[in-house]
Every structure is written in structure tokens, then in C-alpha cells.
Structure 1
Amino acid sequence: MLMKFPIIWALAFAGATGTAIAAPDDFDSASPSSTYFTQAPSTTIPDGSNWYTSAELGAISTSGNTTGTSVTGKIDARHEMNNWSNEYIFSGFFKEDEAVNEDGSRTRTRSAERFQLSAKAAFKLLQDGNRAFVLGSHVNDKFGAYTRYSTLAVGYGTQLLKRDDKTVDVEVGPGYFHGESASGEQESGMTVHGAAQLRWRVSPSAAFSQTVSVERGTSNVHTVAETALSTKINDTMQMKAAFSARSDSKVPEDKKNTDTQTSLTLVYSF
């Protein structure tokens, strides 16, 4: 499926050469990472290369009357340069349940399995906060309404609000999607991509974010939303609580329109 969109990765790495900028300010380092918006620090640009990477992991294991394991994880790599702000994200989630059969034997069953890979390249325009972007993503969701969902979008983004403790960013542009539903039906077509994010530094050690992304096509409206609150443990560690929802307007009869996930993860930045 990824081979259908080789231009996604080529454009995402197009800005990978050049001069990088300094480390993010306190607001950036305190805020939860974002799939759609990565703001460049407002510090002097030195020579050198600056990558900012975070890895988060959360797991729940239960035993006794109910036995099972669920794991969620994410790797977010950002590359900041003079003219480009690039971001590459890989995330995954799976859940296994164990059931006791009538003969006393135990059977483990996978009830959730989702992996997502995305790449975004944003070219910084002359006016502060404005950018042109290209975004590509692929989702493999074994138990979702769409088992495979790939998108490519280009467009324009801007920062509507910039204060010491709050920022609001929006972006919009045309796109293309290709998906395969759980019933085996394949769909593709043009979409309109729109996204918005609020970031709020609640305190010197806590940050809140709300991100919403919508892709409206002729046959389906695909929406992804995440609400997150993170608190600093030290300079490199954060605790993050998040609630996310994925929704499709057109789904097979035996599937629900919306999948939600509540998570508590430990985030390590390096």
C-alpha cells in the first residue's frame, strides 16, 4: 500500500539537508508532541543539526478473573532547519485477551492491532507562523472499520494565535486517500484536509493540547481527535494522559463509526 505513494516519503525528506536551529524553548519541550503541528523555536539559528526525538510507552496487564495485555507506543522524530520543519511518526497499539475454554484450556485472542506511519514536511514561509506542507500517512488497523487507510495532502498552514502560554494553529488543503474497509471494499478519491491544534501551557511543568484533523471526501468523512495533558517529571521524562478518537462516517454494517482510546504513557525525550 505504501508503494502507491512514493512521493510522500520523497517530499518529506526533501528538506533534510540544510542548517538546523537551536533546541526548542520551554513551551515546546513541555507540550505533548503533535502529529500535525510542530512549531519551530524562536531562537537564533546556529550551525549544526538538531533532531528532537521522543519515545512513549504505556502498558496494562491484568490477571485473575480477567486476563489480558494491552500496549501502546509512539516514536516522534522532528528535524528543525532554517527553511524546513519535518516530522516522522510511528505509533502502534495492540491488545490481547485470554479466555478459559470449557475444557479448562486457555486461549489468547488478539482483539486490537493498529500501526500508523506518517511523514510531514513543512516549508517555512516569509511571514512568521505561515508554512506550506505536504503530509503523508498510512494506517494498518486489523480490527478497524478500515483495515488500511493511506492519505496524501498538501496545503497551507498558519498560526492564528501566539501568546506566551497559548498557541492556535490551523491548516487546510486538498488531498487524496485510498482505503480498504473491513468488508474488503476498496475506496479512493479526492479529499479536503483540515486540521487545528490548541496548545496551552497550564503551568511551568504541565501542558495541554487539543488536536483535530478532518478529511472530507465524496464517500467518507475521516476524523481523528486527541486531547492530551502532560506533566514534567524531569528534563527528559514526562507523564502523559490522553484520550483519542477515530471516526468514519461510512463503515460496514458490523462496525461502529468511532473507536476511542484512553492512555497513560511515559514519554522520554532525547
Structure 2
Amino acid sequence: MRTLFLSEAPFHAESGRQHEDSFEMNGEMGVIYSSGNTTGTTVTTKINAKQDLLQWHNRYAAKLLYKQNESTVDDQQQLVTSAQNIFFSAQSDYKLSQPSNRLFMYGEYEDDRFNSYEYQAALAFGWTEQLWSDSDSELTYSVGPGYARSIAKETSDALNQTGLIVRAAMEYEKKLNDKATFRQYISTETDEEFSRSVSETSFAAKINGSLAMKLSINLTHNRTPQEIDEPLDTQTSVTLVYQFF
């Protein structure tokens, strides 16, 4: 990683600077309501929080997707739930003598009402490195072993999946100007037979000091020994983001 990125990286050493604790939190929401030939409602919300302490750097995330569509049930038009997904994650990085080098602990939980599993969860531990960070951009990666558990629904043909995994993630953020920010996040959790990979590409533009408009493209790919109809899920959304702190 150092060979690839650090030769020309705009890394600024932190030595000699007095550390100041910080906490940032923002929430985003998007709502789509349609009527006429097609009736339905889609709600997506997300909360992100980041805490930087002298010895610890913590990140928290929570997401909710809910969708209703009009459908014919017993010869009557009714609104039925067609998507419902809840996701939580948290990562704590312990800073070593060089603050850009860290040890991490990560956990996640997902409950998707319309996939093949009751829930999916994972824990991982390992190494995190902030390859660079300055006022305009930041690049961080993490990699380490972990344990994943996916419990199949009784009504599905999926198999329970439990065992050791390797988790790797990378996040890049670039401020294009005072009002626009680009962000790319990629993660994968894999073993010999199964894998789950996630990509989020987003562009946010400030409307005023605390409010921004955000365009996101989210990709989730699942690999299993069984054939599944759609291994790749794609979600494109436009949301309003409010910066609380």
C-alpha cells in the first residue's frame, strides 16, 4: 500500500501539533412518493458519526430503507411493503505511537426482510493505516481477520453461513472545493466459498452551512456456492444531508 500511494501522497505529519478531540454527526433522508399509474413510497435514511480522540478514532453508521408499492391482493389494490432493510456498523481504531498507524475493531449487523437471511453479522480485528490526510483529501485502508454469521430463513433455499473471514476496506474522500465533496468507500468480507462486497460512491454539494444535497450509488455483491437470481444489488439515491455537529 505504501509503495502504491505514498510516493506522491500529500501526507502531513501530525507531530508537533496539539490534538483536539472532535465529534461530527450528520443525518440524511430521501423520500419519493408517486401516484397515478404507479403508487408507492420509498424512504431512505442514514446517520453517520465520527469521533476523534487522543488515542481512539471511532466511526458509527446506521441505515434504513423502506419501500411500499401498490399491488393487487385478492382483486383489490393495496399498498404492500416491497423493501425493508436495517443496517448498523461501528469501527474503533486504537492509535499507535505513529497516529496514522492503528489497530481496529469492527462490527456490523444487517436485517433485510426480503433477502434469504434472518440476519447477517460480522466482527473483525486488524490493521488500519491512514495513508494520508490533509485539508483537501484523505485515504485510509484496513485489513484483518474476522468472524461472520448469516442465518438463513426457513422458507429460503439458502444455507447458514458461519466461520472465519478476511475483511478489507478502503475509504477515499476528496474536497473538490469549499462546497463539493467526493467520497468512495469499498469493503469486502470473504472466505473460500462466500463473499460480500460493498461499494458506495457519493458526491455531496452544500446548499448552505449545514445542509447539503447528496447523490449516491450503492452496489452490494454476494457470492455463494448456490445460484442466486441477482447477486448484485444496485441502489441510486438523491438525499438531503444535515450536519448536526
User: Within 5 Å, which residues of 2 pair with 1:159-178?
Assistant: 159-178=130-149
Deviation string for 1:103-129 (max 9, x for gaps)?
4x3212211110011121111122142
Inter-partner Cα distance in structure 2 for 1:262 and 1:248: 18
2-structure distance, mates of 1:97, 1:72: 15
Look up the match of 1:76: 48
Q: Is the 8 A contact 1:251 1:257 kept in 2?
A: no
Q: CA deviation at 1:50?
A: 4.2
Residues 64 and 125 (structure 1 numbering): CA distance in 2 closer, same or farther, change over 3 Å? same
Contact 1:193/1:216, CA 8 A, preserved across alignment: yes
Distance in 2 (CA, whole Å) between partners of 1:150 and 1:144 is 14
Is the 2:84–2:112 Cα contact (8 Å) retained in structure 1?
yes
CA contact 1:78–1:88 (8 Å) conserved in 2: yes
The amino acid across from 2:63 in the alignment is: S
Map of 1:94 onto structure 2? 66
Residue 222 of structure 2 aligns with which residue? 248
2:124 is aligned to: 153
Give the alignment of 1:159-198 within 5 angstroms. Answer: 159-181=130-152, 183=156, 185-198=159-172
Per-residue CA deviation, residues 61-82 of structure 1 (Å, 9 max, x unaligned), is 1000011111100112222211
Shift of 1:169: 1.4
Mapped contact 1:145–1:252 kept (Cα < 8 A)? no
Against the structure 1 CA distance between its residues 135 and 126, is the aligned structure 2 distance closer, same or farther, given a 3 Å change threshold?
same
Which residue does the alignment assign to 2:241? 267
- Which whole-Å CA distance do the structure 2 matches of 1:111 and 1:181 have between them? 19
Asked whether the equivalents of residues 149 and 178 of structure 1 are also in contact (C-alpha less than 8 Å), the reply is yes
Cα distance between partner residues in 1 of 2:152 and 2:219: 18
SS at structure 1 position matched to 2:122: strand
Normalising by structure 2, what TM-score? 0.85
Are 1:145 and 1:256, in contact at CA under 8 Å, matched by a contact in 2?
no
Shift of 1:159: 2.2
* Residue in 1 that maps onto 2:31: 59
Q: What 5-or-longer segments of structure 1 have no aligned partner?
A: 1-39
**Deviation (angstroms), 1:186:** 1.4
What is the match of residue 28 of structure 1?
none
Give the percent of matched residue pairs that are identical in Structure 1 and Structure 2: 33
CA contact 1:138–1:150 (8 Å) conserved in 2: yes
Q: Which amino acid aligns with 2:52?
A: E
Across the aligned residues of Structure 1 and Structure 2, the Cα RMSD in angstroms comes to 2.2
**Structure 1 ranges of 4+ moved more than 3 A:** 42-46, 100-103, 161-164, 251-255
* Alpha carbons 1:130, 1:158 under 8 Å: kept: yes
The Cα of 1:253 is off from its aligned counterpart by: 4.2
Opposite residue 107 of structure 2, the aligned amino acid is G
Query: What does 1:1-270 align with in structure 2 at a 5 Å threshold?
Result: 44-46=18-20, 50-100=22-72, 103=75, 105-181=76-152, 183=156, 185-250=159-224, 253=227, 255-270=229-244
**Residue pair 2:105, 2:123 contacting (<8 A) in 1 also:** yes
The structure-2 alpha-carbon separation of the partners of 1:148 and 1:102, relative to structure 1 and needing over 3 Å to count, comes to closer
Q: What's 2:6 paired with?
A: none
In the alignment, residue 52 of structure 1 is paired with which amino acid? E
Residues matched between the structures, number: 227
In structure 2, the residue matched to 1:12 is: none
User: Which amino acid in structure 1 is aligned with residue 166 of structure 2?
Assistant: V
Which amino acid in structure 2 is aligned with residue 54 of structure 1?
N
Between the aligned partners of 2:167 and 2:228, the Cα distance in structure 1 is 27
